Amino acid sequence: MALLDDVRAVADLRVPERQPVFCLSQEFDAKYAGLTYREYIASPEQVVAVQLEVMEAFGWDWAWLHLDDTLEFQALGVGVAEGGENVVPCTADYRDFDCETLASLQVPDPRSARMPLLLDAAAGLRSAVGDTKCITGRVAAPFTAVTLIFGMQPSMLMMIDDPQLFADALKFAEEQAISWGLAQIEAGCHAIWLGDCNASLHLISPEHYRQWALEPCRRVTEAFQAAGAFVFLHDSEERLEGLRLQAETHPDVLSVGPGLEISQAIEALRGKQAIMGNVDPIAMLTDSSASEVAAEAGRQVRLMAGGGCILNSGECVPREARRENMHAMADTARQVWEIVGPRG
């Protein structure tokens, strides 16, 4: 069975022949390749070269083209701070959250500003590896997108002060998210990492999630799935109540944050929703020994033997993570699956 068939098996809650193993390792990837993060994202060709190198070295089953959260918003006039050599670009100046500003915004051409960096990297990787790896692009889900355009605090206040304006902003963000994701799928992405961390239950209530975040996220998910892509939804959620709500958007696979015991997520969503996770990038991949990482990766893979799961880190892996720990995670996952998987 080919890799994409294994991912489909997971999404369908079946047992894959070969357990997919992912890692949110872009910052680590840059250091592994001997680059600053700024050098890593300097060109699509550099991104492709680094991803090919780390896929070869660790055997990851995907190329994760997150890059940074600002690509599609810089084109809207959102200010971006590049920071230091090893700082992922972030928002420095939000747009004013008012009717005039919102009315002035137009969904940007996906080839504008810095957006081609991701598109061209996706095309280059698809050309290089075909369907042997799951090339995964990145889109901010509508609720989180609104907070990335206008700021978290103004967005939270606007839900109360002017709910109609907030609803209108969500509609714009939904339109932009779909446009941006479809462009990545056309460029060669097999999957979209749909990030909605600012809609996790450590930031908003379950009631607000259902009122504001759920349906826009579901519609974006459906649009990408209709275009033939997998959707991996990531809220960095650490509460079962949140995971159950997020599962109602029907992603192909739902990512579990590192603060939740993975067995609880598997049990809560068994037979209902495929999940991925959740090796801790700090406590395990950075601060622990290789033997401790191997034990944790092996434990999680055994829990995943019933199908419907992908092994992944629970959040982004820092540059400081240990090479031997990354190898331990990937290598142990393969070895244990040979024992507990369908061919074991």
CATH label of the domain that carries residue 308: 3.20.20.210
Q: Note the pLDDT of residue 38.
A: 94
Percent residues over pLDDT 70 in the chain: 99
CA angle 139–46–230, rounded 5-degree value: 30
Tokens of 95: 């747009």
Amino acid, res. 277? G
What band does 18 get if pLDDT is binned at 50, 70 and 90? very high
Nearest of 155, 158, 132 to residue 52 by alpha carbon: 132
Beta-carbon count within 10 A of 48 CB? 22
Strand order, beta sheet including 62-64:
62-64, 134-140, 191-195, 230-237, 253-256, 275-279, 309-313
pLDDT in the model for residue 1: 54
pLDDT tens-digit map of 260-317: 999 999 999 999 999 999 999 999 999 999 999 999 999 999 999 999 999 999 999 9
Cβ(36)–Cβ(30) under 8 Å? yes
- Give the helix/strand (H/E) hosting 74: helix 71-74
As a whole number, mean pLDDT of residues 167-171 equals: 98
Render pLDDT for 176-197 as a digit per residue (tens, 0 to 9).
Answer: 999 999 999 999 999 999 999 9
193 forms bridges with which residues in the sheet?
Answer: 138, 232
Tell me which residue range forms the domain holding 212.
3-340
> Dihedrals φ, ψ of 331, to 5°?
-65, -40
HSE-up of 174 (CA within 13 Å, CB side)? 18
Among residues of the chain, what percentage have pLDDT more than 90?
Answer: 95
Residue recorded with tokens 């239950």: 201
Going by C-alpha positions, the residue among 326, 338, 230, 215 that lies closest to residue 274 is: 230
State the total domains in the chain: 1
Residue type at 201? Answer: L
CA distance 5 to 43: 31
- Distance CA(160)–CA(26), nearest Å, equals 37
Pairwise CA distance, residues 238 & 234, whole Å = 11
- State the SS3 of 256-289: ECCCCCHHHHHHHHCCCCCEEEEECCCCCCCCCC
| Residue 213 · residue 199 · CB < 8 Å | yes
The two tokens of residue 342 are 């369908």
Q: Which residues contact 229 (CB under 8 A, 6 or more apart)?
A: 181, 185, 189, 190, 191, 192
Given the structure tokens 């509609």, which residue do they identify? Answer: 171
Q: What is the overall mean pLDDT for the chain?
A: 96
∠ CA 67-254-323, nearest 5°, is 50
What is residue 88's predicted lDDT score, i.e. its pLDDT?
A: 87
Q: How far apart are CA 239 and CA 257, in angstroms?
A: 9
Q: Is the pTM of this model over 0.85?
A: yes
Q: What is the DSSP letter of 209?
A: I
Res 240: pLDDT = 98
State how far the alpha carbon of 286 is from the alpha carbons of 20, 48, 91, 321, 329, in Å: 22, 25, 26, 4, 12
Cβ count within 10 A of residue 229: 23
Residue scoring higher pLDDT (155 or 83):
155
Q: How far apart are CA 99 and CA 169, in angstroms?
A: 9
160 Cβ contact partners less than 8 Å away, ≥ 6 residues apart:
none
pLDDT digits (tens, 9 = 90+) for 236-268: 999 999 999 999 999 999 999 999 999 999 999
Element (H, E) at 247: helix 240-247
